[in-house]
Amino acid sequence: MKINRISFYVLFTMIFFIACQPGGDNPDDSFFNISGEELRNKIRGAWALQTIGVTYGGPTEFRYRKIIIPDSVEIHWSDTMMYHWMTRNPGLYDDIYMDLTFVDVLEKEGLDAEPGSFGEAYANAAYWLWHANQQGRYNILNGIQPPASGHWLNNPHADDIDFQIEADFAGIMSPGMPNTASEICDRVGHIMNSGDGYYGGVYVAAMYSNAFILDDVEEVVVKSLEAIPGASTYYQCISDVISWYRQYPADWTRTWQLVEDKWGWDIGCPDGVDDDFNIDAKINSAYVIIGLLYGGGDLERTMEISTRCGQDSDCNPASAAGILGAMIGYDAIPRKWSAGLPAIEDMDFKYTTISLNKVYELSYQHALELIERNGGTVDGEKIQIRVQQAEPVPLEQNFTGYQLAGNVDISRRITSGDPQEFSFDFEGTGVVLRGGVGNKQAGNQYALQSPEETLANFALDTDFYIDNELVKSNRQPLAFIERNHELFFVYELDPGKHTLTMKIKNPREEVYLDIQNVLVYKK
């Protein structure tokens, strides 16, 4: 049959017109239709299940390192657990109140809030921080602004899990729009992380975003990885998990062991180098993915597997459960898990003025604004999301080629009566001096939560020299909340022999400085 030119153009125009029409439930269409009620339901599900997940895994956090939590260890759950933790130990919810810090900035300053606003909000918050978050805070308080505050040359914890557990909000407010989520992640994630630590947040946010429009867990996991550059070690690690899952779909413990064997040793975080402790984003992301893939959409199994993988066993089920929540929605949460929610949903999370019920609405309003900004429409209850195909963020890699050359125990305490200087000879391209300062009367550096007024703002001033050249002057605050995580670190030195020298400039009788150990790196 022959088709003349006019008929061809008519046929082509009809096909093009049909292809461009708003889609139904098919995420491959240009648009995804959803009602306001269903969008609210999914947003509520994401926040609620994140809260449930962190509560479920809280009791085992970092108690099992480089081992699977055995089946003989019961992971307890009851309707009152969330209320118990919210009232007795609200610090468990650091994943969530960190998220809420950034949600609050967006609400107060608008969706175009600058990185400096996010950085100032979290750097001056009243909560304690650790790892990349704490070094990022110290950097900002001492004049190093984002993105430099999260760069690995200024933050040895740049590959840690911190932003991964704080990026939920970016995906929840960007339904079906992973590139929009990545843009938000760029402004927030580089406050405290870079490289793989940053990618952990980008990937988690992309999974939340895609979970709003997809109903297959494996598809969410695979498609969301498109947001990560393929040359990164983070991408390679998660790709391995997906591949091993497909090879061994009935045995998550085998995949866990393969991940451990290949990716289970940290090189960046000074706390985890040469130690079973591992807060690296890659491996903890792997545990999230193991839970999602082997859980197969079953909430309880997903949380249990993510938890039993060990290490950061509260944050990992929180991410996995939250992503499922964006997929299934609040109303589909089994009553076993949701029964305790009404008792806490109006309670503000510690250090915030935001409750679950409030953030449900804030994220909904932020999502509507982003949908309209990005080519979608909002007409009352009728919402059309212009679906985005995830594009990889730029390549960043930390500690490339670095190896541990030595871990030297020092165990030395310097008091006001001692020589106010310490020297150490090493051969390598980087060095980290671990330790901290403390008050003799309080006993250790962690006890000075409410110091005497005379010491409240005191910090030891220390100068650090490499080969007799001053490279850094640090403040070593007594106040735990203001501390820097390590006494000193420097990377990218010329290969060869070097001498590190520390000099204390303002010794004080009540104050001591502990040197724990020295890590030496080589390339």
In a domain, 424, yes or no: yes
Distance of alpha carbon 275 from alpha carbon 266, whole angstroms:
8
Report the pLDDT averaged over residues 51-73.
Answer: 97
The pLDDT assigned to 441 comes to 73
Confidence check: pLDDT of 350 > 60? yes
Tell whether 416 is covered by a domain. Answer: yes
What is the token pair recorded at 57?
A: 């895994």
Provide DSSP, 429-484.
Answer: SEEEEEEEEEETTT-STTS-SS--GGGTT-EEEEEEEETTEEEEEEEEESSGGG--
Same domain, 311 and 453: no
**What pLDDT score was predicted for residue 440?**
82
Give Cα 332 to chain centroid, integer Å.
27
Domain boundary, last residue among 386, 417, 434: 386
Q: Looking at the structure, tell me whether residues 349 and 380 fall in a common domain.
A: yes
Beta-bridge partner residues of 502: 422, 464
Count of residues for the chain? 523
Specify the range with the lowest mean pLDDT, choosing from 354-368, 382-396, 428-442: 428-442
Evaluate whether residue 3 is within a structural domain.
no
Are 299 and 438 in the same domain? Answer: no
Neighbours of 296 (CB within 10 A): 13
455 and 425 both lie in a single domain: yes
How many Cβ atoms are within 10 Å of 52's Cβ, its own excluded?
Answer: 25
Give whole-number Cα distances, 56 to 314, 343, 357, in Å: 7, 16, 20
Q: List the 459-466 sheet strands across, edge first.
A: 421-427, 497-504, 459-466, 469-477
Q: For residue 522, how many C-alpha atoms fall within 13 Å in the half-sphere facing its CB?
A: 11
Q: What is the pLDDT of residue 22?
A: 38
Question: What per-residue confidence (pLDDT) applies to 442?
Answer: 65
Please say if the pLDDT value at position 17 is more than 50. Answer: no
Q: Which residues form the domain of 479?
A: 403-522
| 395 within some domain | no
Look at the block and give the residue holding tokens 């750097």: 123
Q: Number of folded domains in the chain?
A: 2
Closest CA to 496 of 407, 404, 427: 427
- 368/422 same-domain check: no
Summarised one tens digit per residue, pLDDT across range 114-142 is 999 999 999 999 999 999 999 999 999 99
Which residues, other chains included, contact 523 with Cβ-Cβ below 8 Å and sequence gap of 6+? 401, 402, 403, 429, 495
| Mean pLDDT in residue range 452-468 | 85
Query: How high is the mean pLDDT of the chain?
Result: 92
For residues 380 and 443, membership in a common domain is answered with no
Question: Is pLDDT of 453 > 70?
Answer: no
Q: How does pLDDT run across 143-175, given as a tens digit for each residue?
A: 999 999 999 999 999 999 999 999 999 999 999
Pairing of strands 421-427, 497-504: antiparallel
- Write out the H or E segment, with its range, that includes residue 423: strand 421-427
What does the pLDDT look like over 18-43, one tens digit per residue? 333 333 344 445 999 999 999 999 99
Q: Residues with Cβ < 8 Å from 88, sequence gap 6 or more?
A: none
Q: Quick one: 237 and 269 in the same domain?
A: yes
Is the pLDDT at 81 greater than 90? The verdict is yes
Residues 231, 128 share a domain: yes
Q: Which residue has the tokens 């109303």?
A: 331
Q: Are residues 352 and 444 in the same domain?
A: no
Spatial contact of 82 and 51, defined as CB atoms under 8 Å apart: yes
pLDDT at 454: 63
pLDDT in tens, 101-116: 999 999 999 999 999 9
Question: How do beta strands 377-379 and 382-386 pair?
Answer: antiparallel
Any alpha helices (H) in 272-394, and if so which ranges? Answer: 281-295, 299-308, 315-328, 335-338, 356-373
Which H or E run includes 45? helix 36-57
- At which residue do the structure tokens 């992309």 appear? 206
Kindly report the pTM of this predicted structure.
0.92
The Cα-based distances of 214 to 32, 184, 299, 425, 494 in angstroms read 10, 21, 16, 56, 50
* HEC string for 346-376: CCCCCCCCCCHHHHHHHHHHHHHHHHHHCCC
CA distances from 327 to 96, 317, 390, 436 (A): 19, 15, 18, 45
pLDDT at 416: 92
Name the packing angle between helices 36-57 and 195-211 (round to 10°).
Answer: 130
- The confidence band for 10, taking pLDDT boundaries of 50, 70 and 90, is very low
In 3-state terms, what secondary structure has residue 389? coil
Q: Report, as an integer, the average pLDDT of 416-428.
A: 96
Q: What's 470's domain CATH number?
A: 2.60.120.260
Which residue carries 């950085």 as its tokens? 119
Confidence class of residue 369 from pLDDT cuts 50, 70 and 90? very high
Within-domain flag for 48: yes
Any idea what DSSP says for residue 22?
Answer: P
The reply to whether 375 and 410 lie within a common domain is: no
pLDDT confidence of residue 493: 98
| Within-domain flag for 452 | yes
**What is the CATH classification number for the domain harbouring 372?**
1.10.4080.10
- Which residues partner with 412 through β-bridges? 515
On whether residue 71 sits in a domain, the answer given is no
Last-in-domain residue among 386, 420, 449: 386
Q: For residue 29, what pLDDT is reported?
A: 52
Q: Residue 480's pLDDT band (boundaries 50, 70, 90)?
A: confident
Q: What is the pLDDT of residue 267?
A: 95
Region 407-433 average pLDDT: 97
Residue 116's pLDDT is 97
Has residue 518 got a pLDDT over 80?
A: yes
The verdict on residue 9 lying in a domain is no
Q: Please check whether residues 280 and 137 belong to one and the same domain.
A: yes
The reply to whether 351 and 457 lie within a common domain is no
Query: Is residue 311 pLDDT above 50, yes or no?
Result: yes
Which of 359, 386, 413 is a domain's end point?
A: 386
